[in-house]
Structure 1
Amino acid sequence: MSRGEKGHLYVVSGPSGAGKSTICRLVRKALGINLATSATTRAPREGEVNGRDYYFLTKEEFLAKEKNGEFLEYATVHGNYYGTLKSEVEARLLHGEDVILEIDVQGGLQVKEQYPDAYLVFFKTATKEELEKRLRGRKTDSEETIQLRLRNSLKELEYEKYYAVTIINNTVEESCAALRKIIEEGRQ
């Protein structure tokens, strides 16, 4: 969607299980926004496709790209590397397209340093119990991984204060509406 001006960059972060992926996918589809595909060293989950859901890289491939300066941001999360390739973002913004980055909180702050106009949105659940329920409901992670994600979520919640707005994901409908409103206001 080219408007003849530079696109807007939205960063969506928050703990695992907060519903970021679901909300971003629905809003992206509804508004025709590109979700920049991240790179990761974690194994694909069932149904995930390389190049669509993530660029699945070996640790060696990831570190080579990092050394070459190809990442806008990157971090180690839950024992795996995750990062956003500069090429995924810069060309789209220059062509007037809005871009959503669904990334961890550390990466969100790295992006804000390079793109001061980026709009940072923090997602979380209403309670820690709800977060644990969602993580267990996925049925994709081991108990050890769930416990690691729960511990990390407490650390991630400390970053909320650096974000422009927080969306408490009570329902998919409410959260989609809240994110859509932010993006639609940015387009005016």
Structure 2
Amino acid sequence: MNQILCICGMTLAGKDHLRKALLGAGMFQDAVSTTTRPPRYGERHGIDYFFCSREDFAADMERGQFIEHNVIKGELYGLKYDAFTPAFVAGKTALMVADPNGMEAIREYSVERGVQFRSVFIDIAQEAQMKRMFERFRDDKNASCSVYAARTLHIFESEAAWRSEYSYDHTISHFGPDNQNEVVRELTELSAAQTIRSRAARLVSTEDLGAGSSRLPSNKVITP
């Protein structure tokens, strides 16, 4: 059975760090999103994002090619139905980061298509979140205090319901260097276990079809 793991979380909770760590584990492959924003330094088309014009994005929306889409800082972002195909073909778990609304759309897609879906939510204490925001502000030479104050308030207000109003399969109360290896190991083991169960189920189904009611139990010892 094909699998999708969707990472959700509060701003600066470590979503992208977890995504990169899981990709390094070998069992996961990115489901690449499409965006209208210009590429940043080092980003590659088809690897980090599929970059396109607003006109092309709108045309794809009209054709119903997106599972979900959103506007972030004036730019369009979306995930197409075929974004999971490369991971499925490679026999890997498709991996992506989404907000809770996007997660629900992908969960619905998974149910409709018989795909194994799991979500993980990364929480962060407000004090730690504010500290990371201050560190980012300190390193941004072009930002003003008023801009970051407004953004901080917007984040707290818009994300307040994410903990309680959505259902997640796994919740991580804290993610950082001290527990990164443990989190990656646990999520990798869950994905591997599901892969083994799916393969075993397919094998049993194939044997049943081929042998019918005459199939012997798998632990039967036959002696001459």
TM-score between the two structures when normalised by the length of structure 1: 0.80
Matches within 5 A, 1:73-84: 73-84=68-79
d(CA) in 2 for partners of 1:34, 1:140: 35
d(CA) in 1 for partners of 2:176, 2:24: 18
2:3 paired with 1:8: yes
Could you tell me whether the CA contact under 8 Å between 1:7 and 1:94 is conserved in 2?
Answer: no
Deviation at 1:156, TM superposition (A): 2.8
Could you tell me whether the CA contact under 8 Å between 2:19 and 2:96 is conserved in 1?
Answer: no
Deviation at 1:149, TM superposition (A): 6.5
Q: Where does residue 126 of structure 1 map in the other structure?
A: 125
Change (3 A) 1:78 1:145: farther
d(CA) in 2 for partners of 1:110, 1:51: 22
Deviation at 1:165, TM superposition (A): 2.0
Structure 1, unaligned runs of 5 or more: 1-5
In structure 1, give the amino acid aligned to 2:61.
E
2:185 paired with 1:180: yes
Deviation at 1:185, TM superposition (A): 1.8
Q: Deviations over 1:117-166 (max 9, x none)?
A: 41111123222313423543664984547843751454234123322222
In structure 1, give the amino acid aligned to 2:75.
N
Change (3 A) 1:175 1:147: farther
Identity of aligned residues (%): 23
Deviation at 1:44, TM superposition (A): 2.5
Deviation at 1:95, TM superposition (A): 5.5
Greater gyration radius: 2
Question: RMSD of the alignment, in Å?
Answer: 2.7
Q: Where does residue 172 of structure 2 map in the other structure?
A: 167
Q: Where does residue 3 of structure 1 map in the other structure?
A: none
d(CA) in 2 for partners of 1:48, 1:96: 25
SS at match of 1:18: coil
Could you tell me whether the CA contact under 8 Å between 1:9 and 1:93 is conserved in 2?
Answer: no
2:28 paired with 1:33: yes
Aligned residues: 183
TM-score between the two structures when normalised by the length of structure 2: 0.69
Moved over 6 A (4+): none
d(CA) in 1 for partners of 2:110, 2:143: 36
Structure 2, unaligned runs of 5 or more: 194-224
